[in-house]
Amino acid sequence: MDGRGLCTHHVVTAPLKIVRAQKQYMIDSMGVQYLDCVSNIAHVGHCHPQVVTAGKNQMATLVSAQGFMNDSLNKYVKQLLNYLPDVLCVCYLVNSGSEANDLALRLARSYTNRKDVVVFDEAYHGNLGNLIDISPKMFKRMAQGKKDFVHVIPYPDTYRGMYRDDPRAAEKYVMEAERIISQATRNNRNISCFISECIVVNCGVIVPPRNYYKLLYNLIREAGGVCIADEVQTALGRTGEYFWAFEHYSVIPDIVTTGKPLGNGHPMAAVITTREIADSLGEYYSTFGGNPVACAIGMAVLEVIDNEKLVQSAKAVGKTLLESLTQLKERHSCVGDVRGTGLCLGVEIVEDKCSRKPARELTQAIIMSLKEEHRILIQGQGPNHNVLTITPPMCFTQLNARSLYNALDAVLTAYANRSTLNVEVGSSMVQIPLVSSEDLRNLEEEEEVEGPEAKRPRTSYDDMD
């Protein structure tokens, strides 16, 4: 028991051993099927037959064409570029989101001949040393700390950030960025680039205000830098309506990176930029990047997205889910905020709406209960680990959305009623008492003053007011 945490210390979390997966479902070693609300990697659905067949066939035909002309590469790159503005016309194929961001930094630095990088606080851009340096989520918790060439600006969180519920939040957050960049310039630092997710999933699915990026990109370019959109998580229609998250903001980045969804689980990623920026780099070479198997798989993914109208579906299913989750916010006092777009949604769990204090342990208990009782896999994100993040495969249906809503409602109702959560762990049932440690302390004090009668369970949040 610690802080205002829930008393879940006695619960042994059951590790999940996943052995296979299909569409939006994962199956464990006991044959139990779970609804996957997490995997933004199995973009068109786990083991989609068209993608599997494309990979198998290509693997049996040609795996590496290193140093020779490779038709599948040209075909795939052409197809991917069709989804981007004309000015973004040079594409590099690499093997991971980290590799893509590393190359993007190299491109920005070679083009501007500068080194410094502007990033969002709590951002994560990959696991290479170079990227840890520009990922506050990582370096803030490491001995190395922030390097001099990194300039951290606040992400525009209109729920929990410094400018909340403010119609002029975009302007105010950009003014804050301007202050930090001007300070850096005064210290003789030269900005090479700004890199961010446009919908900031890693910070807890932050959806910046509409005009934010227009203003911020102008500021960065005026300071001599280029703008990189990290679409490693948000690409290929994840955010609904558009193929890329940056399109929601009517801006065109100078460099776009993407990864996770491209290969539906096969390791492949891409960097796309302008001719001018690409020309500054000189030669580029990768052994596995753009190999025939990756390209065949990538091509199949794009075809499935098109054939199955997955971008339109993400928009429609996401809209319904967002609306229903918003009802949860009205009905449950621990649901502080519901936000997102398409199949990229976040539900922020708080101790109460007034204080907005993050409820980290409750978030963990909800995740666990959804898994154990409702067979739904969901994850927690954000700097306070209190944002339920919903990024399922794009074949997620309206029915799946309804199941998720019903399950979450049931779990939150149990919390509001302060009942215990019955959690099946392995072959035995374990009860998670949904009582915060502070509540427990209060109850103990009441008991001392008023006798055991005061220890009745509270029936709703109203009782607490």
The CB-of-213 to ligand PMP minimum distance in angstroms stands at 16
Count of positions on this chain that bind ligand PMP (CB under 6 A): 14
The CB-of-257 to ligand PMP minimum distance in angstroms stands at 7
- Interface pick for ligand PMP out of 24, 72, 101, 436 (rule CB under 6 A): 101
- Interface map 138-177 toward ligand PMP (x if CB under 6 A): ----------------------------------------
The CB-of-197 to ligand PMP minimum distance in angstroms stands at 5
Helix H, strand E, coil C: the string for the chain is CCCCCECCCCCCCCCCCEEEEEECEEEECCCCEEEECCCCCCCCCECCHHHHHHHHHHHCCCCCCCCCCCHHHHHHHHHHHCCCCCCCCEEEEECCHHHHHHHHHHHHHHHHCCCEEEEECCCCCCCCHHHHCCCHHHHCCCCCCCCCCEEEECCCCCCCCCCCCCCCHHHHHHHHHHHHHHHHHHCCCCEEEEEECCCEHHHCCECCCCCHHHHHHHHHHHCCCEEEEEECCCCCCCCCCCCCHHHHHCCCCCEEEECHHHHECECCEEEEECHHHHHCCCCCCCCCCCCHHHHHHHHHHHHHHHHCCHHHHHHHHHHHHHHHHHHHHHHCCCEEEEEEECCEEEEEEECCCCCCCECHHHHHHHHHHHHHHHCEECEEECCCCCEEEECCCCCCCHHHHHHHHHHHHHHHHHHHCCCEEEEEECCEEEEEECCEHHHHHHHHHHHHHHCHHHHCCCCCHHHHC
Interacting stretch for ligand PMP, rule CB under 6 A, among 164-172, 226-234, 416-424, 436-444?
A: 226-234
- Interface pick for ligand PMP out of 36, 122, 157, 230 (rule CB under 6 A): 230
Q: Does 232 bind ligand PMP (CB under 6 A)?
A: yes
- Interface pick for ligand PMP out of 161, 209, 225, 259 (rule CB under 6 A): 259
- Interface pick for ligand PMP out of 8, 39, 72, 98 (rule CB under 6 A): 98
| Nearer to ligand PMP (CB atom), residue 40 or residue 436 | 40
Chain residue whose CB lies nearest ligand PMP: 97
The CB-of-161 to ligand PMP minimum distance in angstroms stands at 19
Interacting stretch for ligand PMP, rule CB under 6 A, among 121-129, 168-176, 309-317, 420-428?
A: 121-129
Q: Does 419 bind ligand PMP (CB under 6 A)?
A: no
State the residues that interact with ligand PMP by CB under 6 A. 96-98, 101, 124-127, 197, 202, 230, 232-233, 259
